[in-house]
Amino acid sequence: MHKTLTLIAALGLPQAASAVNVSMSGNLQQGLICSLNTPSAVTFGDVVSTKVNGTNYLKSLNLKATCNQDAGGATSEKLYITATATGSSGNTFPITGAAKGISIALKKGSANQNLGVQYEHVAKKGDNALDLNVVPVLNGAAITAGAFSATITVISDIK
């Protein structure tokens, strides 16, 4: 009689399963992101009608666009700026109040910037001064002294 002994090798047996959790995090962005600051009001102070010439009393809007990256990089996105005002014509918009005979003109640097017309702003990562300025101009109406105010809306758009 012959006896057979079978040995089962331990190496071939299935081992107990193990699992680990792996944590991940990040920040998903949609390319270029820019936001405009809220500047303080522009104050012209006392404006003398005989000195209104489109250069005197020039004031900065003190607007900045803060961007998360340089524009036009891998995403090819660009920052565009548009300014609008009710009753605007070309680069001028009307005042309200008791004063008459002047309007306010919008300038990009020292050049006229038409309202309602987009322009490309070369945005860099961080704060970007928009170099938008306003200045009183004569509008051909009779001059009436008094207080005045005006409002402009500046819009940023990424395309």
The whole-number pLDDT of residue 24 equals 83
Question: Length of the chain, please?
Answer: 159
Cα–Cα distances (Å) from 55 to 2, 44, 51, in that order, read 118, 13, 9
Q: Which of 1-5, 24-28, 75-79, 103-107 has the lowest mean pLDDT?
A: 1-5
Looking at residue 70, its amino acid is D
Q: What is the pLDDT of residues 67-120, one digit of tens each?
A: 888 877 655 788 899 999 999 999 999 999 999 999 999 999 999 999 999 999
The tokens of 3 are what? Answer: 């006896």
Per-state percent for the chain, helix, strand, coil, to nearest 5: 5, 35, 60
Q: What is the pTM of this model?
A: 0.78
* Superfamily the domain 32-158 falls into: Fimbrial-type adhesion domain (2.60.40.1090)
pLDDT of 7 reads: 44
Alpha-carbon separation of residue 62 from 42, 81, 115 (angstroms): 9, 14, 17
Share the mean pLDDT of the chain. Answer: 86
